[in-house]
Amino acid sequence: MSWQGLKLWFHSLASPPHLYRFAATIEPWLAWPAWILLGIGLYAGLFIAPADYQQGDAFRIIYVHVPSAWLSMAGYAALAVASAIGLIWRIKLAHWVAHAAAPIGASFTFLALVTGSIWGKPMWGAWWVWDARLTSELVLLFLFLGYMALAQAFDDPRKGDRAAALLAVVGVVNLPIIKFSVDWWSTLHQPATIAKFGKPSISWDMLWPLLAVWLGATLLFAALTLLRTRAIILERERSQSWVAEALR
């Protein structure tokens, strides 16, 4: 495909009927590998990976905690980028993709907080501490919830789109705070284990199941976002003639 062709294809994604059909085509190709990777990764993480020499079997919570924490931040970054595109270029579909990603991102943020808390109790002796990493992650959950509430708070959905998008863009400031909180402040939460530019401080036997769950969860996030985007497209465009054809 030429550069011009690629540009045309990308622009065509701003058209609701095109994105609706494109999402329907690509969705199973994301969802099935996602479930397979999640199954393999969780099985290997729980039953094949060796126990940690310090934390014992409690370390296995990493296989659900780290992918959840990653998706909470990546999900918010995707939501903010889509919101910025919607605000700057006034592409309504970008707002709808952001709306679709919000509840999924919120659920993974909730998972990151709760699985972290479950991990914290045996390791730190406390379910919760007002540590910089935990507190900034909690703020992220409030940002997701605020985004969803604001998007629904107006009679005119376009006003809701813009107000929520503004909140999403401003909230991006929280992402580097979450990421670097463990370096900037003295926190109980451990520093980066996997996302190091040098050698990760985790053995390959423990790492590969984590990468499988991480990739599976990311693909599932994308598949669910596309499914929700299709739902929003149908809701907002239901009076359009192309919808009747698409539903046949």
Compute the half-sphere exposure of residue 31: CA atoms within 13 Å on the CB side of its CA. 11
Spell out the alpha helix ranges (H) of 13-131: 16-43, 62-89, 92-124
Q: Site mask, other proteins, residues 175-194, x = CB under 8 A?
A: --------------------
Nearer to other proteins, 31 or 177 (CB): 31
Rule CB under 8 A: say whether 151 interacts with other proteins. no
Of 49, 151, 168, 220, the one binding other proteins (CB under 8 A) is: 220
Q: How far apart are CA 19 and CA 11, in angstroms?
A: 10
Place of tokens 């969705």: 27
Of 4-12, 78-86, 186-194, 226-234: span binding other proteins (CB under 8 A): 226-234
Count of residues near other proteins by CB under 8 A: 41
Of 46, 88, 126, 153, the one binding other proteins (CB under 8 A) is: 46
Q: How far apart are CA 227 and CA 221, in angstroms?
A: 10
Q: How far apart are CA 90 and CA 81, in angstroms?
A: 13
Which residues ranging from 200 to 219 are in contact with other proteins (CB under 8 A)? 217
Please write down the HEC assignment for all residues of 105-169. Answer: HHHHHHHHHHHHHHHHHHHHCCCCCCCHHHHHHHHHHHHHHHHHHHHCCCCCHHHHHHHHHHHHH
Of 56-64, 133-141, 151-159, 176-184: span binding other proteins (CB under 8 A): 56-64
Binding residues for other proteins (CB under 8 A):
38, 42, 46-47, 56-58, 60-61, 63-65, 68, 103-104, 107-108, 110-111, 114-115, 118-119, 121-122, 217, 220, 224, 227-228, 230-232, 234-235, 237-239, 243-244, 247
